[in-house]
Amino acid sequence: MRPTPGTSTLGFNEPLIFDRSVAGRSAASLPALDVPAIDPAAVLPKDLLRATPAALPEVSEPEVVRHFVRLSTWNFSVDHGTYPLGSCTMKYNPKVNEWAARLPGFSGLHPYTPQHLAQGALALMWELECMLAEVSGMAGVSLQPAAGAHGEATCLMMIRKALADRGDARRKVLIPDTAHGTNPASSARNGYEVEPVSSTEEGVLDPRSVAEKMDGSVAALMLTNPNTVGLFEKHIAEVTEIVHAKGGFVFGDGANLNALLGRARPGDFGVDAMQFNLHKTFSTPHGGGGPGSGPVGVCKTLVPYLPTPRPVRLDDGAFALSADFAKSIGRVRSFCGNFGVMVRAYAYMREMGPQGLRRVADMAVLNANYLLALVKDAYHVPFGGGRCMHECVLSDRDLQKETHVSTLDVAKGLIDQGFHPPTIYFPLIVKGALMCEPTETETRESVEEFAHALIDIAKMARSDAESLHHAPHRTRLGRLDEVTAARKPILKAEER
């Protein structure tokens, strides 16, 4: 049964917690002091003393709890319902991984704990690196980078250093026109010029256009497979050969790995460096700015360049962190990275096992194809001839011509039906793109419910376009000024 729209929700308005503050009120009750009070001025250096007390809200415990619980109802989450935000892999994350990450031995471990007292954590990191290497076919892995984009940048740093070591100063990176925006950003960050490569009408890379642009000035080709229109790059073997033959490296954006797990390995189809998005593929809740983790995997040539320190296994079986890698690009993140995310990924992979991980890819691809089959008469399907990998790109091009309803209207209409909208207006090469990734964790019924909602909206565009222009109607707030919100966020009470 679809979530019934229109019933009232608990979307309370909620002031800033500072507005609830009453002097002297407290959320804690401590016993009276039974030791002499110390005057901070007598023991702390003068320059560390505050002139005035910190302006913290003074509220009771129930006020704190209600404040944050109410705020949490303003957001849509994976735990609320289907969240088919294409490319982002907003799948359900089993709660047992949260349990594992919160085990006191992991969550309370201080990063400066001596290595002989942190053997469990080091073993977990070392084993997780091995498991990621195994599923991806890469020769070595580092868990340090803090997110996917950071992993991309780290891979390009390694490629740049490997090229420099052979006296080769290349200045360009080739990137397909369907790529995620972080790919060109990572290139620019490493001082590379970006040269776009266009895809064919089929939505995949044409080896001929790669061959035309590939020469001795190109450091790397960055590609995503399956790509961001949800298709497997079927010429991948030929494409990677062309790049390698001219001395370049192939970077593979691993954000879509849930489409391949247990079925194909980037290392086997010629990728030299890739990032993993543990917070997408390996089950850490994300969105809303929580911590991510973007480990990198590299081929044999690039292993010496991996960030340090690296977890290593010593001859006596003990684990240690070693910075003893002369060619390494060095550290890219404080301490060892976002350790809690690694625990979740480790627990998830152990729980799933090889068969379970293969089933992830099978179900991700099956769900996206089922969705596509259900909605293909209501929306234009620009690529793939009715087939896709883990996500499908639809277009409301025809609907727009007929009804003047915009892609944004369609997305906002879905919110009223109880769904998070898909990714819209991306990839840029598709007009009116709606990029849907149901993910492997949706049931057959929830894929059907989402498909019916999309079909209903196409009908509504014809019968009541005006209403869609003003959707969502059932949320606490309707249309926000998203541009101003992004460009001029108001983050402090006094700015209001």
Ligand X SMILES: *Cc1c(COP(=O)(O)O)cnc(C)c1O
Q: Which residues bind ligand X (CB under 6 A)?
A: 87-88, 147-149, 180, 182, 224, 228, 253, 255-256, 277, 292, 294
Looking at residue 17, its amino acid is I
Toward ligand X, which CB reaches closer, 180 or 310? Answer: 180
- How many other C-beta atoms lie within 10 A of the C-beta of residue 269? 18
Rounded distance between C-alpha atoms, residue 404 and residue 414, angstroms: 17
Rounded distance between C-alpha atoms, residue 399 and residue 307, angstroms: 50
Residue 177 beta carbon to ligand X: minimum distance, rounded to whole angstroms? 14
Burial 292-319 (b: 16+ CB within 10 A, else e): bbbbbbbbeebbbbbbbbbbeeeeeeeb
Toward ligand X, which CB reaches closer, 225 or 400? Answer: 225
Toward ligand X, which CB reaches closer, 77 or 475? Answer: 77
Toward ligand X, which CB reaches closer, 179 or 454? Answer: 179
Toward ligand X, which CB reaches closer, 82 or 284? Answer: 284
Please name which of 402, 457, 418 lies closest in space to residue 434, comparing C-alpha atoms. 457
Toward ligand X, which CB reaches closer, 144 or 224? Answer: 224
Helix H or strand E encompassing 236 = helix 236-245
Toward ligand X, which CB reaches closer, 129 or 253? Answer: 253
Residue 387 beta carbon to ligand X: minimum distance, rounded to whole angstroms? 20
- Which of the 8 DSSP states describes residue 33? P
Q: Which residues pair with 221 in a beta bridge?
A: 174, 250
Burial 380-390 (b: 16+ CB within 10 A, else e): bbbbbeebbbb
Helix H or strand E encompassing 135 = helix 119-136
Which tokens sit at 125?
């990191």
3-state secondary structure (DSSP) of residue 223: strand
Q: Cβ-closest residue to ligand X?
A: 148
Residue 148 beta carbon to ligand X: minimum distance, rounded to whole angstroms? 2
Residue 178 beta carbon to ligand X: minimum distance, rounded to whole angstroms? 9
Q: Do the beta carbons of residue 230 and residue 368 sit within 8 Å?
A: yes
Residue 448 beta carbon to ligand X: minimum distance, rounded to whole angstroms? 25
Q: Please state at what angle helix 407-416 crosses helix 444-463, rounded to 10 degrees.
A: 120
Residue 427 beta carbon to ligand X: minimum distance, rounded to whole angstroms? 10
Residue 181 beta carbon to ligand X: minimum distance, rounded to whole angstroms? 8
Toward ligand X, which CB reaches closer, 253 or 409? Answer: 253
Residue 380 beta carbon to ligand X: minimum distance, rounded to whole angstroms? 23
Rounded distance between C-alpha atoms, residue 119 and residue 108, angstroms: 14
- Which of the 8 DSSP states describes residue 268? G
